[in-house]
Amino acid sequence: MTPILVTGAAGFIGYHLCEKLLGAGKKVLGVDNLNDYYDPKLKEARLAELGKHANFTFARVDIADRVALGKALTWTGIRQVVHLAAQAGVRYSITNPHVYISSNVNGTTNILEACREARVDHLILASSSSVYGGNEHTPFSIHDNVDHPVSVYAATKKAGELLAHAYSHLFNTPITCLRFFNVYGPWGRPDMAYYSFSRAIMDGQPIEIFNEGKMTRDFTYVGDIVECIFRILDKPPVPNPGFDRKQPDPASSWAPWRVYNIGNDNPVGLMQFVETLEKVLGKKAVKVMKPLQPGDLTTTHADVSELRRDFGFRPDTPLEEGLRRFAEWFRSYHNI
């Protein structure tokens, strides 16, 4: 049994994907640099859980370090790769752009090069709903033009999609790009709104509501995200025989490259989200209204019709159910 390589294995989505693959009897090679963007103890706790599986192997390496990556990994036998490692965070990217170029552009290039050399059967590349940038037409469709990012983070994720297409075209590498929409759930990142809100609410501290609450988000439960990846992994894309180069469709290609949205297709207002969080935590929030922050989108809404058509699945975990599962984990992890 050849291992599936998962980059960012100690991260939020990476951890859940590894658990899903290992639970299905797969062998997993995880890679992560355990950086301190947020408390590494949370990443170490995720790794400790993964380490309970005999089929899990871990390599601590920064994907942006090409030499170290080459030394740490033996690519012989690796047929499938899920590339989740990235520097996350929209606002942090505005003040620390070079970190994002290093990880999301240089690091992704290193993974693409390694996949080319190993001639992998399928590479799944994590992208983001942030690529839709200044688009106001909703729901966001994979057929929409996404050439107007509003944050450095979004620009680097779009760059990853473009690099992936170039490699798919040049080297016939099958690559699927997945645009994740507002992922939440147990073991999440502390910098994400639902997590930071929960800590503040339980500590009796105020939470900041940006754009005075006039925002909607397509919140997607992490279990639905990994189920989609699991279903897509064994179905690499093939060239689109009907691709029209005179009227190019941004969602497909003459190369074995595709892009899909993964979202709940059910956007929720920010204030409704806060009310639901208050309900599952059993405590009211102290709210402070703030203006819209640079780089933020006012609305995210995923059109997942192609995902449903091609893989027979769409995320559907209700927000209250997903937040309840998060709250249970949150209380347990923080001994509340």
Residue 269 has a pLDDT of 93
Where would I find the H helices in the chain? 12-23, 40-50, 66-72, 90-95, 97-100, 108-118, 152-171, 193-203, 222-233, 270-281, 305-311, 319-333
Residues of the chain whose pLDDT is less than 50? Answer: none
Please indicate whether residue 167 is annotated as part of the active site: no
Residue 294 has a pLDDT of 83
Name the active-site residue from 153, 194, 195, 260. Answer: 153
Structure tokens at 85: 């490692």
Question: Is the separation of the CB atoms in 129 and 161 below 8 Å?
Answer: no
Residue 151 has a pLDDT of 93
Residue 297 has a pLDDT of 79
Residue 296 has a pLDDT of 78
C-alpha–C-alpha distance, residues 17 and 39, integer Å = 20
Residue 147 has a pLDDT of 94
Residue 112 has a pLDDT of 97
Fold of 4-181+222-264+302-315: Rossmann fold (3.40.50)
C-alpha–C-alpha distance, residues 331 and 281, integer Å = 9
Residue 28 has a pLDDT of 96
Polymer length in residues for the chain:
336
Q: What is the Cα Rg of the chain in Å?
A: 19
| Average confidence score pLDDT of the chain | 94
